[in-house]
Amino acid sequence: MSTESALKSAQAALSLKERAGAPVTLLDGGAEAYPRMLAAIASATRRVHLEVYTFEREGVGSSFLAALTAAAQRGVEVKVIIDGWGSMGESGAIQRTLRAAGAKVRVYNPLTSIFTGRAWRNHRKILLVDERVAFIGGINIGDDYRGGDGEPGWADLVLELEGDICAQLGAKLHAGRVELASGPVRVLLSGFGGGRRLRQRYLEAIAKAKTQVFLAHAYFLPDRGFMRALNRAAKRGVSVHLLLAGRSDVVFARAATMRLYRYFLRGGVHIHEWTASTLHAKAAVVDGRRLLVGSFNLDPLSLVNLETLVDVEDDGVAAQAMAWLDKHVRGARPITLGDCQRTGLQAWLLDILGLAGARMAEAFASFIGRKRLR
């Protein structure tokens, strides 16, 4: 599909959304989100703000570059922030292309910044257009998130927001640590203090749960306090389910997570592994009425990176999320204690290497945290 036809299709999708008038819409990965995001950029009249960890130039990335370039050339204020690590190898060409059209581009903490101790990342995924519509979730810009040629895209979620919350977001994008509220929607941005407030929002939701907690997390490496919170919920009769990655794009990430399986299973927590594609979601549904979704991972690094979290208390939106979770659980592999029995070599690979991966992540996050507080 050409860039022009893709933009026309996206504009049609957006017009349907506008007629529906819903302030919050849950989108299933890049396949659903990209057309709406491109349509929003194509319809921009004043301002486009994009923050993303990974921006690939090829494939769908070329459509985004074309849409952003066209917006800048027609006089829209376009600002793009990409992460120096997440977009390594792409950032130079992206800067040249967009700046030539009049857009502002910032590479957040390039690789060379590690020598000055600035190793934390901008892990946010935000598209805000005209303070009218915003997209916040877990997807980056790349073909992995939409799939193709019979292959499913990475399993992920995005929230499309409209209304007053978007105007608030536009006014506070550069204010550091922020919590915004409009009706049932809360948007949290972690600032210089990192993501501990976002973690706390999860813990508060789990502590209040009465019937069910359902988490889908790609890089699941919670601290002991978080682990105990989940097991306590299970012991008081809450049905606790974890949808986790059966395959990962990060070396040792799955091994580090699998070390925790026996603890959770013995505590009454249900575990399901998604293997049909890479799981990249960072989401939770509590009691069928509250949804948490964003870029925030339950791992040490998200505690020190710049992250986003949207907290929505709405039965309809939570029901959409539960339908997504149910679909993925039906296609996932249930994990039992029997699956945790391993040979000596397997135990070494999973426990030793997994522990090493976990400790490296914790040590790196601690190093970053100390540098940020200086």
Helical pair 29-42 and 3-20, crossing angle rounded to 10 deg? 90
- In the chain, the amino acid numbered 243 is L
Query: 49, 79, 83, 130: which is the annotated catalytic residue?
Result: 130
Cross-strand partners of 333: 273
Query: 49, 217, 272, 280: which is the annotated catalytic residue?
Result: 280
Query: 287, 314, 339, 351: which is the annotated catalytic residue?
Result: 287
Q: Identify the helix (H) or strand (E) that includes residue 282.
A: strand 282-286
**Known catalytic membership, residue 130:** yes
Query: 49, 123, 217, 328: which is the annotated catalytic residue?
Result: 123
Query: 217, 282, 299, 328: which is the annotated catalytic residue?
Result: 282
Cross-strand partners of 82: 52, 107
Pairwise CA distance, residues 134 & 70, whole Å: 19
Asked if 215 contacts 291 with a C-beta cutoff of 8 angstroms, the reply is: no
**Known catalytic membership, residue 208:** no
Tokens encoding 170: 């536009």
**Known catalytic membership, residue 104:** no
Alpha helices for the chain (secondary structure H): 3-20, 29-42, 60-73, 91-100, 164-172, 196-208, 224-235, 253-258, 261-266, 315-330, 344-347, 354-372
**Known catalytic membership, residue 287:** yes
**Known catalytic membership, residue 8:** no
How buried is 1 (Cβ within 10 angstroms: 0-12 exposed, 13-18 middle, 19+ buried)?
exposed
Cα 370 to its chain centre, rounded Å, is: 25
Pairwise CA distance, residues 33 & 146, whole Å: 9
**Known catalytic membership, residue 149:** no
Query: 49, 125, 272, 328: which is the annotated catalytic residue?
Result: 125
- First-residue to last-residue Cα distance in the chain: 50
Residues with a known catalytic role: 123, 125, 130, 280, 282, 287
